[in-house]
Chains A and B, each alone.
Chain A
Amino acid sequence: MDGALLPRPAPADDPMVPRTFRIERRVAEVDGCFTLTLKATDGRPFAFQPGQFNMLYVFGVGEVAISVSGDCRDLNTLTHTIREVGTVTRAMARLRPGDVIGVRGPFGRPWPIEEAYGNDILFVTGTVGLAPLRPLIFEVLNRREHFGKVVICYGSRGTHDILYEKQLHQWRGRFDLQVHVTVHSAPSGYRGRVGSVANLVKIARFDPEHTTAYVCRSETMTRPAVQALHDRGITSDRIYVTLERNMKCGVGFCGHCQMGPSFMCKDGPVYRYDTIEDIFTVREL
Chain B
Amino acid sequence: MVAIEGLGRLLAEHPFFTDMQPDTREIVVGCCANAHYRPGEFLFKEGGKADHFYLIRQGTVGVEVHVPGRPGVVVETIGEGDIIGWSWLVPPYTWSFDARAMDQVRAITIDGACLRTKLEANHELGYELYKRFIPIMGRRIAEARLRIVELTTEPSRD
Q: Do chains A and B touch in the complex (CB under 8 A)?
A: yes
Task: List residues of A whose CB falls within 8 A of some B CB.
Answer: 30-32, 84, 126-127, 157, 161, 182, 184-196, 198-199, 203, 218, 220-221, 224
Q: Which residues of B contact A161 (CB under 8 A)?
A: 156
Pairwise interchain contact A184-B151, C-beta atoms closer than 8 A: yes
Tell whether B123 is near chain A: CB-to-CB under 8 Å: no
- The count of A-to-B residue pairs whose CB atoms sit within 8 angstroms is 79
Identify the 10 closest CB pairs spanning chains A and B, nearest first. A32-B157, A188-B72, A187-B71, A188-B71, A194-B77, A196-B143, A186-B74, A194-B74, A220-B153, A195-B76
- 26 A-B pairs, CB-CB below 8 angstroms? A30-B156, A31-B157, A32-B156, A32-B157, A126-B150, A126-B154, A157-B151, A161-B156, A184-B150, A185-B73, A185-B74, A185-B75, A187-B74, A189-B71, A190-B62, A190-B102, A193-B60, A194-B76, A194-B77, A195-B77, A195-B147, A196-B143, A196-B147, A203-B79, A221-B153, A224-B146
Pairwise interchain contact A187-B102, C-beta atoms closer than 8 A: no
In this complex, what residue of A is CB-closest to B158? A31
Please report the C-alpha to C-alpha distance between residue A54 and residue B157 in the assembled complex, in whole angstroms: 24
Give the interface SS of chain A, mostly helix, strand, loop or mixed: loop
Please report the C-alpha to C-alpha distance between residue A224 and residue B71 in the assembled complex, in whole angstroms: 31
Please report the C-alpha to C-alpha distance between residue A32 and residue B76 in the assembled complex, in whole angstroms: 25
In this complex, what residue of A is CB-closest to B157? A32
Please report the C-alpha to C-alpha distance between residue A126 and residue B150 in the assembled complex, in whole angstroms: 10
Please report the C-alpha to C-alpha distance between residue A196 and residue B72 in the assembled complex, in whole angstroms: 19
Please report the C-alpha to C-alpha distance between residue A185 and residue B63 in the assembled complex, in whole angstroms: 10
Please report the C-alpha to C-alpha distance between residue A157 and residue B75 in the assembled complex, in whole angstroms: 11
Taking A31-B157, A194-B74 as contacts, is the C-beta distance between A188 and B150 under 8 angstroms?
A: no
With beta carbons under 8 angstroms apart, the residue of A185, A191, A195, A196 that contacts B102 is A191
Tell whether B51 is near chain A: CB-to-CB under 8 Å: no
Q: Which residues of B contact A187 (CB under 8 A)?
A: 70-74
Pairwise interchain contact B73-A157, C-beta atoms closer than 8 A: no
Q: Which residues of A contact B64 (CB under 8 A)?
A: 188
Task: List residues of B whose CB falls within 8 A of some A CB.
Answer: 40, 60, 62-64, 70-77, 79, 100, 102-103, 143, 146-147, 149-151, 153-154, 156-158
In this complex, what residue of B is CB-closest to A225? B146
Pairwise interchain contact A190-B158, C-beta atoms closer than 8 A: no
Q: Which residues of A contact B102 (CB under 8 A)?
A: 190-191
In this complex, what residue of B is CB-closest to A196? B143
A242 nearest CB across to chain B (Å): 14
A81 nearest CB across to chain B (Å): 14
A197 nearest CB across to chain B (Å): 8
Pairwise interchain contact A220-B149, C-beta atoms closer than 8 A: yes
Q: Which residues of A contact B146 (CB under 8 A)?
A: 196, 198, 221, 224
Q: Which residues of B contact A218 (CB under 8 A)?
A: 150, 153-154
In this complex, what residue of A is CB-closest to B102? A191
Q: Which residues of B contact A220 (CB under 8 A)?
A: 149-150, 153
Q: Which residues of A contact B150 (CB under 8 A)?
A: 126, 184, 196, 218, 220-221
Please report the C-alpha to C-alpha distance between residue A188 and residue B69 in the assembled complex, in whole angstroms: 12
A284 nearest CB across to chain B (Å): 16
Pairwise interchain contact B62-A221, C-beta atoms closer than 8 A: no
With beta carbons under 8 angstroms apart, the residue of A126, A188, A195 that contacts B143 is A195
B143 nearest CB across to chain A (Å): 5
Pairwise interchain contact A188-B100, C-beta atoms closer than 8 A: yes
Please report the C-alpha to C-alpha distance between residue A193 and residue B82 in the assembled complex, in whole angstroms: 14
